[in-house]
Each structure stands twice: as structure tokens, then as C-alpha cells.
Amino acid sequence: MTDKNAKLCVAYCRVSSKRQLKEGFSIPAQKRYLKDFSRTNSYVIKEFFEDDETAGKKGREGFEAMLKYLKKNKKIKTIIVEKTDRMYRNFRDYIDIEDLGLDIILVKENEVVGPNANSHTKFIHGIKVLMAKNFLDNLSEEVIKGYNEKLQQGLYPSNPMFGYRTEKIDGKRFLVPKDKESNVVKRIFDLYSSGLYSVQAVADKLNEEGLLLDLSKKVNKSSVHTILRNPVYNGDFKWKGQVYKGVHEPLVSKSIWKECQSILSRNPNKSQANRYNTLSFFFRGLLICGECGRTVTFERKKKKYVYCRCTKHNTNCKQKPVREKVLLDQTEDIIKQINVPKEVVEFVTEALKESFELKRETYNVRIKSLKAENSKIESKLDKLYDDRLESKIDEEFYDRTYEALKTKKAQITSELDKFDQASHEYQNIGLEILELAKNVSRIYRQANDEEKKQILGFLLSNFYLMDGKLIPNWKKPFELLVKHTSCSEWQAHQDLNPNFWFWRPTCYH
């Protein structure tokens, strides 16, 4: 078959960890798999794209290069990939692909997702993307637990800030002052606490004195302000919005740090802005003006009524302020737009179970490897014990080796527990999404304001506010449930793939 009449595509491969490179899920293995598929199904792969590092954040070089290539080569409308979680790990990637109008062939899942796919194929695919993100989050829980342990011990769990370096002591990383940088920090607090210098004047003074290590770089106002506001320099530190008592050496006394905070807060405009930003508004972060696209802001009048209004920045927007209560009353009717017929729930439930089985195949390899390693450690511990009884090794060697092996065994046990928990969550998250969709109107009606905000944030990207009316911008895949809520009947239609049957509404074309 020549390129002229062949079906053109690109192929994408990804490994999410170094371990997968060694466990049969390497990029060469994926390439062989995709090449076999393309030959069997008359596709010509014009280009391979790959990423071989953790993909928890958007911005993978191979993925971005593929999007750029496809935008340039518009005749190619197909990507082939092993399965859903090899393709993308967040909804931004999902939307980028859909905006290009591409077909995604998920080879192991025997599924094609694209503009011409039926609504339920798209819906199930969207839920799988949600689950892939959820699984990644669950696998990160051990990292979070590690952070929490460090926080409780007073250890800063991230990279050191200006003025400090990290030093490993007894297996733990401590913040310790970094010679010249710590002197710069102390000088900043000394100057500002005197009350004779503004933040900008402190920066100018430092530049004049030339205290920085790299004299080619100038100290700016923003850097000085950040240092002055950081509690790490008085012995505490902030993590995820909460302040912890640190065990590191402070660079300034608490009295000097508090004095600097007092001076920083004396600006009445800034103080007023801080008070304004602490007010709680139901729709904060959820509203966009439907006329001009600007941000919608909030203001409280008579200490009682909250109004939502467009900022109208550099526009001639004619939208008028609307009471928050008026908009809140509209949300229940909007939520009622989501409807999932019983037969659809039954079908999607089975499809999600199949997806879980496919996902589990990948992680069973790692689990098997961990269990084999654990058995080896147990054998080594048994031998170590026998050698000690027979006086083949001294007590010091025994204690040192025993502790090392026990530590490694604990790490393996922890990782096995992590996989077990993450797998359990992956299996249930899709069903929980369906359950939420099926009963969301009742759940929303009974929820408090905070819970309602969480539900809206889960189902919608935002609302457009137009002429006092909320226009929902549903997240995928929930928009598919809303799109067909007016259909009174659902019937079984055979998909293009003869091996699968998909439920879809009779009004779907």
C-alpha cells in the first residue's frame, strides 16, 4: 500500500516511571505493539512521539511536539496509542486533542474516540480520563504522607528558600543557614524593621551595598517583599496555607519579624484589599461575563447583600450587577439537567469493570516484582539470623544489616499497600462518578453551601453570566449527559466495531 491511499497516523508512546522501562512497558515494547497494529489494520505511521518520564503535569515534550506536528500536518487526523492512560493524564490534554478534531485509536481497549464516536463511547472515555487522573493522585498519596510526617517533625518538606541550604543529618534533611545569603536576609529585616526604608528603598540599598553573591543580578522589590513575608526566617514555615513550627535555625527573632509584618500592613489600601479577599463568596472562581469574557467580581452592600458584577476592564460591557442569591436559586434547575437512564448506568458499569481489568494487568507486573523482592529480603533476614546464631558475624554487622533489610522491607510493604489502595480507588471512582450523576439533583439539594461548591466545581468548568442568567460550561464527559437529557427513550445501537454494543439516545445523530 502506498502513502497516497494509506490511512495516515502518528503514534504516541509513554512510560510514567523509570521502573516501567524495566518491566515490559518500555517505549520500544509499545512501539512494536503499535507497529504490529498499524500493519494489520492498514495504517501508515508517519511519526512516533514519546515521553519517558513522569507525566503528572502537563507540558510533556513529546506530547507537545505531537500536537504541534498535527497542527502543521492537517491531513493526519489519527493518533494510535496503547491505551487511555498512556495518552494523557489530565483534562487539559484531553481538550487539546479534541479541539484538533482527531481520532484516538486505543489499541488495547479496542476503541476509537473522535468526532464521529457515539456519545457513550465519548462518555466512557471521559470517565477513564478522570480515573487515570484519580489513579495518579492516589499513587501520590505516599508522597503526601511523607510530607505530613516531615511537617509534624518540623522539617521543611521542599527545596530550600533563599538564605538556607539543606544538610542531611541522621537520614533527615534539615534547613541550615547559607553563609552569604543568610546575611542578605538579616540585612533586609534590619533595614525594614527600622521603619526608615520602604520595600523599594531596601532593594535599592542592597544593590548599593552589593551584598548579593552574583553582582550581575539586581535585587528587586518583589524579592524583598517575599522574604519579609516568609515566616521561615523566624523559625516557622508555611505549607499548604498552614504554619508549622520548624526545627531549623531562625535568621531573625520573632519580634523583628512581627515588627516587619506590622509595617507591611500599615498601608490602608493593602489592608482593605486583604480584608476584601478574605470574604467568602459562593461563586468565586466560577463566573465569567457572557458578554465580554472578563472576570466577574463580587461586592457586599449594606453588609448583607452580595452582588456579582463584570469588571468591564477595557470594554464597553453593558451587563448589570446581579444579586448572588438570584444566581444561587438558578443552580438547582441547572443541576437537574443531568440525567442518566438506568440502562446506560448498567452498560457503563460493565465497560468500567473491563477498563479496570486492563489497568490491573499493567500494575500486576510491578506487584509481582515487589513480592519477589520481598521474598528475597525475608530469605536474607533468615540467613542473617542463622549466621548470628553460629557466630559467623559479629553483633555490630548483624544490627547494621538487619536494620537496612528491615527498612527496605518496610518500603516494599508500603508500596504494595499503596498499589492495593490505588487499585481499589481506581475500580470505584468510575462507579462513584456514575452514582453522583444519577443522584446529583437530590445530593445537591441536600448539600450545604461548601458541598454545593464542590459539586459544581466537579461538574462544571465555570458559568457564563449573561443578562442575569447562568449559562453552564459543563466539563467533559458530563456535557454528554446534559446534551441528551431531553430524550425520552434510549435504544441499543450497534457501534462501528461489531464486537461492542453501545447504548445511545434515539435523538443522537
Our CA angle for 353, 357, 363, nearest 5°, is 140
Give whole-number Cα distances, 56 to 51, 93, 126, 136, in Å. 12, 11, 18, 7
Distance of CA 493 to the CA centre of its chain: 36
Q: pLDDT by residue for the chain (509 residues), tens digit each?
A: 455 667 899 999 988 765 554 554 578 888 988 999 998 888 999 999 988 764 444 457 889 899 999 999 999 999 999 988 788 766 677 778 888 889 999 998 888 888 888 776 777 777 777 766 555 555 455 455 556 667 778 888 878 889 999 888 777 788 999 988 898 999 999 888 877 778 888 888 888 877 554 545 678 888 899 899 999 999 998 887 788 888 899 999 988 898 898 888 764 444 333 433 444 578 887 899 999 988 888 888 877 788 999 988 788 999 999 999 999 999 999 988 887 766 666 666 666 666 666 666 666 777 778 888 888 888 888 888 888 888 888 888 888 888 888 888 887 877 776 666 555 555 555 666 666 667 788 888 888 887 888 788 878 888 999 999 999 998 877 777 775 544 443 333 333 333 333 323 333 33
Residue 26 and residue 83 in one domain: yes
Residue 87 and residue 197 in one domain: no
- Cell numbers 469574557 correspond to 293
- The answer to whether position 129 is within a domain reads no
Residue 334 and residue 444 in one domain: yes
> Is the sign of the CA dihedral 404, 405, 409, 412 positive or negative?
positive
Total domain count, the chain:
3
- How big is the chain, counted in residues? 509
- The answer to whether position 463 is within a domain reads yes
Distance of CA 178 to the CA centre of its chain: 33
DSSP 116: T
- The answer to whether position 284 is within a domain reads yes
Residue 210 and residue 307 in one domain: no
- Domain C-terminal end among 218, 235, 269: 269
Q: 447: domain range?
A: 280-354+421-509
Within 8 A by CB and 6+ apart from 361, the residues are none
**pLDDT at site 372:** 86
Residue 285 and residue 332 in one domain: yes
- The answer to whether position 243 is within a domain reads yes
CATH assignment of the domain containing 204: 3.90.1750.20
- The answer to whether position 140 is within a domain reads no
- The answer to whether position 382 is within a domain reads no
Residue 180 and residue 254 in one domain: yes
Residue 259 and residue 324 in one domain: no
d(C-alpha 1, C-alpha 5), whole Å: 7
Residue 228 and residue 252 in one domain: yes
> Is the sign of the CA dihedral 349, 499, 357, 123 positive or negative?
negative
**pLDDT at site 68:** 92
Instruction: Please check whether residue 308 is in contact with residue 465, taking contact to mean a CB–CB distance below 8 angstroms.
Output: yes
- Cell numbers 463568596 correspond to 281
DSSP E strand boundaries for 141-249 = 164-169, 172-177, 236-239, 242-245
- Domain C-terminal end among 269, 289, 318: 269
CA torsion, ordered 2, 7, 9, 13, to nearest 10 deg: -90
CA torsion, ordered 313, 316, 318, 320, to nearest 10 deg: 20
Burial of 140 (0-12, 13-18, 19+ CB in 10 A): middle
- Centre a 10 Å sphere on the Cβ of residue 219 and count the other Cβ atoms it contains: 20
d(C-alpha 487, C-alpha 120), whole Å: 14
pTM > 0.75: yes or no: no
Instruction: Please check whether residue 227 is in contact with residue 251, taking contact to mean a CB–CB distance below 8 angstroms.
Output: no
- The answer to whether position 456 is within a domain reads yes
- Domain C-terminal end among 201, 236, 269: 269
Residue 180 and residue 224 in one domain: yes
Q: Closest by alpha carbon to 478, among 427, 436, 425?
A: 436
CATH assignment of the domain containing 72: 3.40.50.1390
Residue 243 and residue 320 in one domain: no
Instruction: Please check whether residue 183 is in contact with residue 213, taking contact to mean a CB–CB distance below 8 angstroms.
Output: no
- The answer to whether position 390 is within a domain reads no
